[in-house]
Each structure stands twice: as structure tokens, then as C-alpha cells.
Chains A and B, each alone.
Chain A
């Protein structure tokens, strides 16, 4: 029988476009120290370390080895998990599984990236098939631009609709002291920003960020002793559907449809819009805040924009999304999915400060990456049965 698992603490660095003041190892340490302090634990309380990033962004392989002084892994079982864009959410799911196994009671899970150290798009391109995909592919931006083109064509969604979603995330980021971009923008700012890859403009797209996030997972045997309101993991699910980008079915984000339905079923969620209090979504570009919430079953196909324009997903709305400012405000890639988990845990604990959504009982986070892969986690205030 698997142990029940909760998040009991987290720490994030001061995310920024360029953290030249620290090495990768030092950046990791900043997040780890903050997480230990947050959970009021000592390093000696931790019985295992899981770390992840996307190796090629820094071009220094073996991050689990050279980061050991910063991660706190000396003398402890330490492993790396890495799955491209979903690395952070894979860490969140893998941490859950390891603690559920009963082998670890207090596990330190770390995601990080120093995107400033390479050409991000060139580095992402190395994750794709050199024979069939690379000729034309230009990293996440071009892949997502292509998805947006198909979505706009199918439903008549406009660039202005998408811009409204970017405005929401950037407005929310103002409340988050850790966010990389904390300046509000307008719909006109988005529409007038330089075109990067039609139809995506500079302000439709996430930034490249240096940052790390550390999350402490605890088993049911110790969680409530560490934290008065642990963020219990109610469900995890993930779906990987394609090896090659050329196979992707652009009619919807199928991986998120499938993963979210599995997660809802496991957590006993029937009406996600009503039963989930807040979502932290790995939506790395504006259009994802429309089409992917349709994949989550929150709106009918083509109707995601209505939820955005009606303010349903704003702070104070029925289902606030990305109170942290989301990925459009902060994107240290290997940490990004784990930051979503950390933010959900703060919402469940009622410790999210200026970005707190009142009275959250359940929260949901996602991860996105690879060949349109998806991860989903659901968190709750109550220990699962």
C-alpha cells in the first residue's frame, strides 16, 4: 500500500533573466536553503535528493554530480530526473512516487535552469529528431506558433484574444516577489510587440529565466509534524504521445485531455471549474491559456477565450489561474513545472501572500514539454482516504 504524500515546504530563488552573480551550483543552493528554512528542517533531516534540469541548456552534462555541494546531496541517495520541458513536473510526480514507495520520508526535490548561459532555442532544438524534425524546427516558439496557427484557423480565435491571457498573467506576476517579469502590460502592448514567429509576438511568449525551485515532500508518517497544513497530493498523471513533432495532432492538446481526465478521476473531481480553487498551468505562451484550458475540460473547444475575457480566470474570478504570473512571467525551464507545484502548495497552505486565492481546498498544476507532452497534479487540504 502506497504512503500518502504531501508537500511541506518550498523555496525559490530570485528569478531573473541573468543571474551572473551565481554559478548553477550556487543558484541551486539558494533554493535549497530557502526550502529547508521554509519547512524548518535541517539538511540532516532529508533522506534523499532528486534534481533535474535540461542538460543542454548549460551544455554542462551531469548536473546531479557537479551540483552536489549546492543540492545538499553529499552522503545521501541522489538521482536526476529530466524530461525536457516537463522536467519540473516530472520531478513533482517522481518526488511523489518516491515518497509513496515508503523508502523516503523527507525528500528534497530540486528543479533549476540557467537559461542565460546558452541560446535557448538552439538548445531546445537539440532535443528533437535530427533527421526529420530539425530542418525547419526552431525550438518551442516555432512549435507553439504552428499550434496557434491551426487553433486560430479552426475556431476563428484572434491574436487579441490571446493577448488578453498574456495581460492576465503579467498582471498577476506583480503580486509575486519571485517573478522574473513584474511589469504590467496591455493588450495593445502585446499586439504591437515584435513578431517572432507568426502569429506569436514577443509578449505572447515566456521569457528565458535563471532560477531554481526546491520542494520538500513528506510521507504521511511525518508530514503533519513538519507542517500544520500540508499540501496533500491527490493525483498525478502524465501522457507522452509522440516521438516526432511531425506526428502531432493539432486539433487539441490530446496529452493534456487524457492526463487531466485521469487526474480528475483519481481525485474524485467531477466539475473541475467548480471543485478546483486555483490552477497553476504550464502555459508558456498566450494561446495555451485558451486552447489548453479547453483540453482541461473547462470550456468547449474554441470557447476558452470567453472564460478569459469574462474574468473567470483572473484573481477574484471563479477559478483564478496562474496567481504567480505563470510561465509567461517566469521560465527557468527545468524548474518551471516544479514552481507550479510549489505555488499550488502555498495556495493550499494559505501562505501565498499577496497572490493568495481565498479558501483554496484543491489546486491543480500542469507541466508541458517535449513532443506536446503533459503532466497533471492535483493537491488538496485534506489527507486522501
Chain B
């Protein structure tokens, strides 16, 4: 049987899922929990040193990937650091954490805390003066802290 019309481009139908949002509950692990607790209670950054290669990891974790060695040697790092790389986000996208568009623009950078060999990613203020790679930065903490990375508002340039 022949149907009367062939659909044109605008006639193809799509079905939307709706504003689906599914909450998850992620384990942070022992070392991650200790790191966030120190951050929350003492505004202190703790890294983990590998006995094999000597690298200091932030965030801390129990295994050095390249050496595949177990680690258990806490070292304090930061709180100041150096900006290694950055961008300023200007396009809006759906944040899978909230199901909402993420507010833009926002700046963020890779910050190597003093004494660490890896970086921490965090917000940078977007002001009149653009961030510069190599600049020294310090964390600005929130008054009320909950034990997650948002306990730091952002990192700002040390004048």
C-alpha cells in the first residue's frame, strides 16, 4: 500500500526524554575523604607521596598509576600554587550534575599547589584582568564548608 506523502525534513518526529535527572552517590574513598576533611576543618591541602617515584599527588589516592605501588605517605602542600593552564568558558551546556545549564562565563585553571607534582582544577575569577600562565595564586575559602571542592570559592592571583 502506498502512503499519501513522504515526510519532508521538518516532518520527522523526535520524542524528548523530559527533564530527566538521576541522582548518584559517589564514594570518595579513604584518602579522598581525609583530604576533604582536612580542607573543610583546617583549610589545609594534603598530598600523597609515592615511595617509588617520589611524585606528590593531589588529590591523594592509594595507588601511583605509573609505579603501580601502594602509597601511604601524607605531605602537606600549598595552599598557594602556580597557574599551569586555563580557559574561560563562554558557551552554556547542560551540567549533568544538576540537569540545568551551567552559568557562564566562568574561568578555571590547572593549579599546581606548592610541593605537588599534579594539578588541582578550580575556578578563577573572570575580571578585567585575564589570568596569566605562571601567575602565583592562593585559595579563597567559603565561610561554611561541607567537605567538597566547593569549600574553595576559587583561586585568586597573589598581588
Which residues of A line the B interface, CB within 8 A?
20-21, 59, 119, 121-123, 125-126, 130-139, 141-142, 145-147, 149-150, 153, 194-200, 241-248, 250
Within 8 Å by CB of A135, from B12, B28, B133, B150, lies B150
Query: Are A150 and B87 in contact, with the CB atoms below 8 A?
Result: no
Q: How far is the CA of A223 from the CA of B121 in the complex (A)?
A: 49
Listed by A's residue number, 10 A-B pairs whose Cβ atoms lie within 8 Å are A21-B12, A131-B32, A132-B121, A136-B121, A138-B102, A141-B91, A146-B110, A150-B85, A199-B87, A242-B65
Known: A130-B24, A132-B149. A122 touches B12 (CB 8 A): no
Residues of the B chain whose Cβ atoms lie less than 8 Å from the Cβ of A131: 26, 28, 32, 59, 148-149
B17 touching A59 by the CB < 8 A rule? yes
The reply to whether B87 and A142 form a contact with Cβ atoms under 8 Å apart is yes
Which chain B residues lie closer than 8 Å to A20 at the CB level? Answer: 9, 12-14
CB < 8 Å: which of B88, B94, B118 contacts A198? Answer: B88
Assembled-state Cα–Cα distance A145/B133 (Å): 13
Q: In the complex the two chains form, is A119's CB within 8 Å of B12's CB?
A: no
Contact A197 B106 (CB under 8 A): no
Chain B residue at minimum C-beta to C-beta distance from A128: B96
Determine the chain A residues whose CB is within 8 A of the CB of B14 once the complex forms.
Answer: 20
Chain A residues, Cβ within 8 Å of B58: 246
Q: Is B95 an interface residue (CB 8 A)?
A: yes
Report if B89 contacts A (CB, 8 A). yes
Within 8 A of A (CB), among B70-110: 84-91, 93-97, 102, 106, 108-110
Q: A131-B149, A246-B58, A248-B110 are in contact. List 7 more A-B contacts (CB 8 A).
A: A132-B59, A132-B149, A145-B87, A146-B86, A146-B110, A153-B133, A197-B88
Q: Which residues of A contact B130 (CB under 8 A)?
A: 198
Complex contact A133–B121 (CB within 8 A):
yes
- Of listed A122, A136, A141, A195, residue having the most chain B CB within 10 A: A136
Q: Does B119 contact A (CB under 8 A)?
A: yes
Q: Do A197 and B95 have beta carbons less than 8 Å apart?
A: no
Q: Give A200's nearest chain B residue, CB to CB.
A: B87
Q: Mark B22-53, 1 if CB is under 8 A from A, else 0.
A: 00101010001000000000000000000000
In the docked arrangement, what's the CA distance between A122 and B17, Å?
Answer: 15
Given contacts A121-B93, A138-B93, A153-B133, contact A198 B121 (CB under 8 A): no
A250 touches B96 (CB 8 A): no
CB distance from B129 to the nearest CB of A (A): 14
List 8 tightest A-B contacts by C-beta distance, closest first. A122-B94, A136-B108, A145-B87, A121-B93, A20-B12, A150-B85, A119-B94, A153-B133
For A196, A246, A248, the residue with the greatest tally of chain B CB atoms inside 10 Å of its CB is A246
| Contact partners of A247 in chain B: CB under 8 A | 57, 118-119
Instruction: Determine if B122 is an interface residue (Cβ-Cβ < 8 Å).
Output: yes
